Structure formats: structure tokens, C-alpha cells
Structure 1
């Protein structure tokens, strides 16, 4: 990649939990990032959250010491997509909204630049109907926190071209992510396995079989889950989890993916996990 290309950097659409995390990761490896959102207050909070994540990542040795952080630019429009090396869409897990945003930004982009939808389970070929060049579209599923979890699920849609896939794998290699390329399918691999399991764990709490901490302790101690499913739900964001489960249930008909009443109650109450300060566990003031 030339010096000029390095200077162009990437565009991240959406300054929520995942957009902020992806931005922090890229900056930590020296890439220039334009972070786009429609709300200036959201962008201001995201910039502060990015700085915090970069500090945490450096303290934990998750970023290269020899690399100076890249430049962060925030914007209310996606005009920078016209001159980016890649565009990563990381807005809320809503298929219609993702399709609308992807369609709009693809019209700004030159041919051959990867357009990457970060999604936990919406089929890429479904989103490809909305974009100008389906061959440039593919998916990623980053895990939160992005700077600690080095594995990334990469989703190749039926119409994804070789060039877009190769360029995306090169970009992920630059930020030292390990990639597993999977075929397009609702939920792909990780969400198809993880999300119904979290739903089952919440249902056990709802039914009174065990408490939150006990479910997590058993999954950690007996089955080797690193954090427990309910603490993982808090990290994902319970609203994001419910949206992803709804999408999975709609597309597969799997009843294990129909969000249980306890999950829906927490969303209605605003108990969304770490980002709101309370989910299955309490976190004080929460994380932006």
C-alpha cells in the first residue's frame, strides 16, 4: 500500500459501541479514520470513548508500542467515502436501515473499494440488493471489545468479488486480526451458535432455575465459557442482542432464537448492559 493510500484511511459509519470499537482498533494501528454519525453529540461522546479504549488497549499490551495512533476525524456526512481505502458500516442491527445507508454510501464510492457491513447476522446478499456494486460488498463480525478479541468472522456473499475479499483481508491483517472466512447465512457461525445459547441462559433465570451469577459460574467452570453468557449479553448490549435474535428468528424460524420475556423486559426498562450501566449486572454509570 502506497504512502498516499495510507493517508486516505478508512471510513466508519456509525458511532455506537461497535463503530467506536472498530475506530479505536484502526487508530491504534496508525490508520486514519473518519467516523461518521448523524448526531454531533453522539460523535463527541464517541471520540471520548475512543480515547479511553486506546488507553485501555495500550495498558493491556494490545497495540504495537512502535506505532503512533492514527488521526481521527469526525463527520456528519459520508463524503469521505469517495476517497477512502475501505468503508465499514457499523450502524444498528436493522436490515432496512443498513440497506438504506449502504445504498447511499455505495453511490459515493469508486469501484473496487471494499464496502464492509459489520453485522452479527444479517445476510450479506440481502443487503447487496441495495448497493451499486454487489461485488464490492462483504461482511465482518467483530467481537467486543475489538482491541482484545483478535478473531474476526469475515462473510463472503454469493456476489462478493475476489478483489474485495482480498483487500479486506489485507486491511484486517494490518490491524493484526485473525480471520475466518465463512459463507453467507443468517447468523453466520458465531451468532447462530452464541445468541440462542444466551437466550436459553436468560430463560433459565426467567424460570427461576438459577440466578444470573450462578448460570455464568456454571458455564465458566463446567463448560469453559470465558465470561459466562449473561455477562456476554451485557457486553454485546441487550438491545443489540434482542435485535439480532429477532432477525435470526425471522430468517430461520428457530424458536430458540425468539427473544425470551426477560430480555425484552430489560430492553423496555433501559437495562441494556455495560453501555447503560445496568443489565444482568450493575456497572455504575456505564460506558459510552
Structure 2
């Protein structure tokens, strides 16, 4: 299964990062978002990201130039008709993802693989909503995509061996380390990470320590590059809440109950860096 043309749906932080990584590794990329401003911002981010790679000696200036010209943008999904692989990177809402995949399913040729960058939603349910469940699976990149080495490969129950092998090979071509996990709530990364973040929020909620001190403990005591509350802001508190709800609903275990403070902050519109305010304030 040869993959040359890659489609990316969603031009936000994850989508633009995924597009950059494919482009700088020799793939033609069709980046789609229904908001033209998102596409414009994505190209600016990709250009800056490629320049960072040049500055670090990861790629040459010529590779960066070629990579940028390899990214084609459109507000319409019809452009996916020429793709061998389409990766979805939109909001973590299952009905929205399923509706979009059903549209992509109608557009793409039979050989196209569909993949989701979801951080928690069942791949098996999404695969079942398409006419190609054997060519559907999860490809969960970490943020920031150009920097983080890991990609979680999540097989739906219906995923064929051929599809799985194709995405394993693609991960190697992207210079990523692919780890295979089962289709289980939160997979591995978020099943471990999100309860830690949630517990950090509980320590703030219960007045155990300040925001800065909670983050300092984990940075200085556990050698984490970023404290859990700062990380929650980077991820998005709405996304953190969504994943905790997925874990609680999936496992029916009270240990995954979202902290009331997390719910309150999302209700207030304090989503973190993307909204300008979370546990910290941002310009």
C-alpha cells in the first residue's frame, strides 16, 4: 500500500503540526478547514515550524522550501479525493467526527485509509460508521507534533493487518516511534496523564498548595518539563474535561471523576492558553 498524498482535516494546533511533519518528510499534503483564517494561520505556523527545523539542523533550507510548497489548503473536503490517507484532527466530539468521516468516506477512493487523531474516543465505533472499517484506525500524535517522538497507533476491532502495517511504515518515515495500544478509553497516554492532571487540580481545589507550587513540585521533584496545571492549559481545559468524562463513562469508576474546579473553569470559558486564561493568564 503506497501512500504519497495525505489529507489532514482541521488546521488547528494538531492539524497544522501533522501537516508540517508529513510535508517535511516528502509527502504531498492536502490541508482542509472550513475557516479560511485557520488555514492562513496554519501556513504561518508551518513556515515558522519548518524554519525552526532548519535552525536546529534537522532539515535543510531547501527541504523546508519544498515542504512548504507541498502543503495545499482548501476549505472543501473534495480535495481528499486524491489522497491515500486522510487524518482527522478536529474537535473531540464523537458525533461531529462520525459525520465528517462519513462525508470523507463518500469522497475518497476505495483504497484510502482513514485515521483519527482522537485522544480518547472509540475507534471501533467510528470505524463502524464508515463503509471501510477495515481501513480505519487511530493515529494519535502528541503536541507539539514536530517535536514529540511518540505516535500511538490504535487499532479498531475491524482494522486490517494491511492497514496497521501501512501506518506503522508511515510512522517510521515520519521519524516517529509508533507504540501500539488497544482501543480502550484514553488509550495509554491519556489514561495515565489525565488522572494525574485531574489530581493536580484537586490539590489546588482543596487548598493543598498554590498553582505555582503544585507545578514546581512536579517540575523540580519529578523532573517533568512542565507542571501539570501549565500542561492542562496547553492541552485545553475543555479537552481535559472531555477526556476525564470519557474515562469515567468508559470504566464506570469514580476514581476518574473530574474535579469540580475543572468543570467550573470550563463553564466559565477558561480553557487555558487558547482562550487567554486558564490556571495562568496568556497574552
Q: Same fold (TM over 0.5)?
A: yes
Aligned counterpart, 2:207: 208
Supply the RMSD in Å over aligned alpha carbons.
Answer: 1.9
1:64 aligns with 2:59: yes
Q: What's the CA shift string for 1:235-275, capped at 9, x where partnerless?
A: 21112222222222222223233322222233233332223
Give the secondary-structure state (helix, strand or coil) at the position aligned to 1:12.
strand
Aligned counterpart, 1:142: 141
- What is the deviation of 1:226? 2.7
Structure 1 residues 51 and 283: CA distance shift in structure 2, 3 A: farther
Aligned counterpart, 1:231: 230
Asked whether the 8 Å contact 2:53–2:59 carries over to 1, the reply is no
In 1, the alpha carbon distance for the partners of 2:36 and 2:59 equals 31
Asked whether the 8 Å contact 1:237–1:275 carries over to 2, the reply is yes
- Count residues with an aligned counterpart: 279
Asked whether the 8 Å contact 2:32–2:75 carries over to 1, the reply is yes
In 2, the alpha carbon distance for the partners of 1:18 and 1:156 equals 20
Q: What's the CA shift string for 1:132-160, capped at 9, x where partnerless?
A: 11000000211100111111111011110
Q: What's the CA shift string for 1:142-196, capped at 9, x where partnerless?
A: 1100111111111011110111111112222111111011111111111111111
User: What does residue range 52-131 of structure 1 map to in structure 2 within 5 Å?
Assistant: 52-61=48-57, 63-65=58-60, 67=63, 68-70=66-68, 71-131=70-130
- What is the deviation of 1:208? 0.8
- Farther off after superposition, 33-42 or 259-268: 259-268
1:188 aligns with 2:190: no
Q: What's the CA shift string for 1:214-233, capped at 9, x where partnerless?
A: 11111122223231211211
Aligned counterpart, 2:33: 37
Asked whether the 8 Å contact 1:111–1:136 carries over to 2, the reply is no
Asked whether the 8 Å contact 1:112–1:163 carries over to 2, the reply is no
In 1, the alpha carbon distance for the partners of 2:257 and 2:9 equals 29
Q: What's the CA shift string for 1:46-74, capped at 9, x where partnerless?
A: 2223223333343344x422633142211
In 1, the alpha carbon distance for the partners of 2:262 and 2:47 equals 31
Aligned counterpart, 1:247: 246
- Farther off after superposition, 247-256 or 85-94: 247-256
In 2, the alpha carbon distance for the partners of 1:51 and 1:271 equals 29
Aligned counterpart, 2:6: 10
Give the secondary-structure state (helix, strand or coil) at the position aligned to 1:69.
helix
- What is the deviation of 1:88? 0.2
Give the secondary-structure state (helix, strand or coil) at the position aligned to 1:35.
strand
Asked whether the 8 Å contact 2:20–2:67 carries over to 1, the reply is no
In 2, the alpha carbon distance for the partners of 1:60 and 1:264 equals 40
In 1, the alpha carbon distance for the partners of 2:56 and 2:93 equals 33
Give the secondary-structure state (helix, strand or coil) at the position aligned to 1:107.
helix
TM-score where L is the length of structure 2: 0.91
Gaps of 5+ in 1: none
TM-score where L is the length of structure 1: 0.90
Asked whether the 8 Å contact 1:155–1:182 carries over to 2, the reply is yes
In 2, the alpha carbon distance for the partners of 1:57 and 1:256 equals 41
